[in-house]
Chains A and B, each alone.
Chain A
Amino acid sequence: MPTAMRKREEYQNRIELLQGTLDMLILQTLRRGPQHGYGISQRIRSGSGEVLQAETGSLYPALHRLERQGWIRSDWKSSAHNQRARYYRLTAAGRKQLAKEHSRWQQLCAAISRLMNPREKEGAA
């Protein structure tokens, strides 16, 4: 029972990923080189200062969906600890898609912050 309680608290500290942002984060992560599913989830967590968590139930479907769309490719390789793993890497189409999603994300952020901070906007005007 107590572990369950703690878990719920942990969840409350995390921010749910917005619909559609996981794809962008995966692509962004893979810009630094090929990575396996576990590595991707670790990088998202550590890169976001433990705030964002890519649930495996979303991560793997996303990886397979992105591969089907041709934005990433996968190969089986051995990791540093001699563990066979499936490494995903970005394709040219994936790079393009990432750029597109990134700029859309920036527009979204700007629009939301404008809405949330109307004074700044008035002040700027």
Chain B
Amino acid sequence: MSLDLSRLFHRKRRDEELDEEIQSHLAMATRERIEQGEEPQAAAQAARREFGNRTLVQETTRAMWGWSSLELLWQDARYALRGMRRSPAFTAVAVLSLALGMGANTAIFSLINALMLRMLPVRDPGQLVELLFKAPGQDHFNAFDWRDYEHYRENNHVFSGLVASSDTPFAIRGDGLEPEIVRGGFVSPNYFSVLGVSPALGRLIGMEDGSASAPGNIAVVSWAYWKSRLGSDPAVIGRQILDGDHPLTVVGVAPRGFVGLEPANPQDIWLPLTPQHPSYVATARYWLRLAARLKPGMSLKQARAEMAVLYRWTVEEEFKTSDDRSVRSWKIEVQPAGAGLSQLRDQFGKPALVLMAVVALLLLIACANMASLLLARGSARRREMAVRVSLGAGRWRLLRQGLTESVMLAAWGGLIGILLAYWGTGVLVRIMGSGRQRVELQAHPDPAVLLFTAGIALLTGVLCGLAPAWQAYRAAPVSFLRASAAGSETRGRRLFGKSLVVAQVAFSVVLLSAASLFIRHLSHLEHLDLGFRRDHVLLVQLNPSGSGYDRERLSRAYNELLARLEAIPGVCSATMCGFFPMAGVGGMRPATVEGYQAKPGERRYLSESWVAPKYFATFGIPLVMGRDFSFADQGHGRVAIVNQTLVRYFFGDRNPIGRHITFDGDSQPFEIVGVVGDAKSGDMREPALRFVYLNSFQLGTESSRFALRTSVDPEAVAGDVRRVVRGLLKTVAIENMKTLAAQVDGAIVPERLSAMMSGLFGALGALLAALGLYGLLAYTVARRIHELGIRVALGASRSDVTRMVVGEALGLSCAGLAVGVPIAYWGRRFAVSLIPELPVQGVIPLVFGAAVMVILAWLAAYLPARRATRVDPMEALRYE
């Protein structure tokens, strides 16, 4: 390589040396002749004559030096650059369309890379797996409890280590620290050692922190937290901070880049998880996420078999406390977790794969577009090629030059594409993070992404360049020089150019119908009847941890707060609820309903939620029968309000008012005082659950979530809400404030992402295809101007000529439809196989895609057709 480079830059010196060498040859020959007695003038002349054709000698000698492959590449690249500079418009269009195609691919690949491919910064991430349980017909969840963890850890033979961790927000404050909610988790003492992570500073949580005598009040912080909040203080070890009111000692800093097992939801602080101290460790359910390292040589299959056996114990334990037979059909899954836990992957992985297919199609369109551009330009340059072949240019050299040119165009496209993707992934991640879940995906291009882009750029360049390069390779020297400019285009080549346009139209139809499918799906979800009114509601979440209020004082304060919130001008009603809509349900418990005879083994679960009075009015859930809760229920008999689904299930047509519900293991029944309409709670795609609402103020289950119905824009009262909260509860922080509409939108982020992206890419693809069609038609008209002139001279009317051009456009787009519609049909089935909720029925997406392409073909034909009708026969005939 270094040799080649030095040769590359020494060529000029070698030229001079050769010149000097010949000069000295002549000088010596002349001197010898003079010594033999010749006249100096005659001697010099004779020496030159004897030497022969000096230029030819130089030329043949230079040919001996040979060109290194690098020099040839350099020459080709410079030739290509010259060509690109010569036609800046062509270059700009080609580079831009490729940049769009490759930018889209890079952006989506960045997402997939960050979601599924990038490994955790731990030792041997390929050995990591996670455990998930799955009830039939539901998603799987990595959610277990301490009892499960201990059982699996003690009894498995397949894992070299099993770790448990929680996803817990901590209210951290301390000297010089702004009070804030820090994401973190309780982790089992073996967490860091099993993952193979070593501290950047101090020590990590270790086995000694799991012993009964361990103080437990220690914490490890992330590198990012140490840097941003603790000022990179090297003396941080031993520093005291507060979690709420519990003192913690910082004992270490995790290595840079380690943010727990879910990189998209980074954790900044870890506390030891021990069965001794926080009392809920032993009793809380479904709050631990389990991950494990496979023993060396152990396969996933063996781990699955082993865990299936161990899980049977969990099921039996579960069954002891419930007579829900469906527990028996719960299954455990063991999935690879080298790239982190699957939560975000489950949500966005499949849409990302569908989008990957979409952008691959977009790139194919851009490829076909550029190939036809290059081909058209190649035709225009055939004279040049023919001359070069006649002058002895190697055909391989011409082929390689053609490829170099297209690869360089693609490389430029790739470079700009990376810039586009850099910006685009930022937008993508922001859209993904607009949902319920915090998403801090590091999706910016990394080496894997750059490699991917370089790969597709090379592939694109070769793919686009093959046909034109082949054309150059086949350049016929003599025949072409003899033939006229227009006449000798072969049928095969024309057909190939047309088929490129047909392919573009076909792919665009696929893209457009996919876009239409996703947009329709999104609009369906957006207009779904949720059972509540999503407009004019403001949701306010407070955080009382570390505020110094005890439960009783807080309950009284919240009661007062509701009254003050309601007094804000523009607020119609204020309430409190256990969970916001779309954020899940309070819990599910089996219960006995008065007057209903349960079948043995029947799933008698009810979903429960605790709400304050005016909940239904605030959310616009209709009260069908009976009455709402009231503050006066405090101290009286326990009351419940049920939804219509529950009534239909347990009561049929009978009146449920006054009947009683008793939860299993609960002695006191609840009296049904009201019936409300069904409202979606967790996933809006699921049918309504059997719901029972209980009165927070009666049960002492106040939460810190408030909702206000306003008569004005809900955002407009936010300032007043802040003032009221601060005025009444000085130490309670406002964690979050957003509109109900935003909350609902957050639940359909993957769908919105798919719809927006496929819409954008579909539009781009269609535009490129239209440009391609326009280019071909314009070229065809220019090529046939002679023929058109004759036709007009022979009496063809304008409409005849127009019909000819538009007819070609429509013919091409119909051919594209014939190819594209079946692919679109098949593509939809592919999309449905990944995203089952998509509407399978209906031809609207296909019709939409086809219609758009026909209209675009019409538009693309307009300018060339106008050009064709303006052909002046005399001018056209003189043209040649």
Interface residues of B (CB under 8 A from A): 17-18, 20-22, 24-25, 27-29, 31, 51-53, 56-57, 60-61, 63-66
Contact = CB atoms under 8 A, between A and B. Distances in A.
Interface in A11-56: 36-39, 55-56
A57 B61 CA distance: 8
Nearest to A37: B25
Interface string A75-107: 010010101111000000000000000000000
Given A57-B52, A57-B53, A68-B64, A83 B17 contact: no
Contact of B28 (A60, A68, A83): A83
B24 A56 contact: no
Contact of A56 (B27, B28, B57, B65): B57
Interface of A is mostly: helix
A125 B20 CA distance: 57
Given A38-B29, A57-B57, A65 B64 contact: yes
A118 interface: no
A101 to B, nearest CB: 18
Nearest to B62: A64
Nearest to B63: A61
B67 to A, nearest CB: 12
Nearest to B53: A57
A64 B17 contact: no
Contacts of A38: 24-25, 28-29
Contacts of A81: 28, 31
A86 B31 contact: no
B193 to A, nearest CB: 60
B8 to A, nearest CB: 15
A75 B28 CA distance: 17
28 contacts: A37-B21, A37-B25, A38-B25, A38-B28, A39-B28, A55-B52, A56-B22, A56-B51, A56-B52, A57-B60, A60-B21, A60-B57, A60-B60, A60-B61, A61-B57, A63-B61, A64-B61, A64-B64, A64-B65, A68-B66, A79-B28, A83-B28, A84-B24, A85-B25, A86-B17, A86-B20, A86-B21, A86-B24
B28 A61 contact: no
A61 B61 CA distance: 4
Contacts of B52: 55-57
Contact of A68 (B25, B31, B65): B65
Contacts of A57: 52-53, 56-57, 60
Contact of B64 (A56, A61, A79): A61
Contacts of B53: 57
Contact of A36 (B25, B65, B66): B25
Contacts of B61: 60-61, 63-64
Contact of A61 (B17, B29, B31, B60): B60
A62 B65 CA distance: 11
Contacts of A86: 17, 20-21, 24
Contacts of A85: 21, 24-25, 28
A86 B753 CA distance: 72
Contacts of B28: 36, 38-39, 79, 81, 83, 85
A10 B476 CA distance: 44
Interface residues of A, number: 21
A62 B56 CA distance: 14
A57 B52 CA distance: 7
A7 B17 CA distance: 31
Contacts of B22: 56, 60
Nearest to A78: B24
B70 to A, nearest CB: 16
B10 to A, nearest CB: 13
A102 B27 CA distance: 33
B846 to A, nearest CB: 65
Contacts of B20: 84, 86
Top 3 closest pairs, chain A to chain B, by CB: A64-B64, A65-B64, A85-B24
B326 to A, nearest CB: 82
A64 B21 CA distance: 12
A56 B28 CA distance: 14
Nearest to B66: A68
A46 B27 CA distance: 19
A27 B66 CA distance: 21
Nearest to B24: A85
A86 B23 CA distance: 11
Contact of B31 (A60, A63, A83): A83
B416 to A, nearest CB: 42
B543 to A, nearest CB: 79
Nearest to A59: B57
A18 B779 CA distance: 57
B464 to A, nearest CB: 37
Contacts of A84: 20, 24
A39 B56 CA distance: 21
A61 B66 CA distance: 11
A62 B60 CA distance: 10
Give the interface centre of B18, B31, B63, B64 by most chain A CB atoms within 10 Å: B64
A8 to B, nearest CB: 14
A83 B57 CA distance: 21
Contacts of B64: 61-62, 64-65, 68
A15 to B, nearest CB: 18
B25 A56 contact: yes
Contacts of B27: 83
Given A68-B64, A83-B31, 9 more contacts: A37-B21, A37-B25, A60-B57, A61-B60, A62-B64, A64-B64, A83-B24, A83-B27, A85-B28
B367 to A, nearest CB: 41
A34 B849 CA distance: 80
Contacts of A36: 21, 24-25, 28
B174 to A, nearest CB: 74
A62 B17 CA distance: 16
A65 B18 CA distance: 13
A68 B758 CA distance: 58
A57 B54 CA distance: 8
Contacts of B29: 38
A36 B28 CA distance: 10
Contacts of B51: 56
A39 B21 CA distance: 12
B322 to A, nearest CB: 87
Q: Which of A38, A39, A68, A79 neighbours the largest number of chain B CB atoms within 10 Å of its CB?
A: A38
A37 B31 CA distance: 15
Nearest to B35: A81
A79 to B, nearest CB: 7
Contacts of A62: 64
A83 to B, nearest CB: 6
B471 to A, nearest CB: 35
A74 to B, nearest CB: 9
Contacts of A65: 64
A56 B65 CA distance: 16
A55 B53 CA distance: 11
A35 to B, nearest CB: 11
A39 B31 CA distance: 13
Contacts of A76: 17
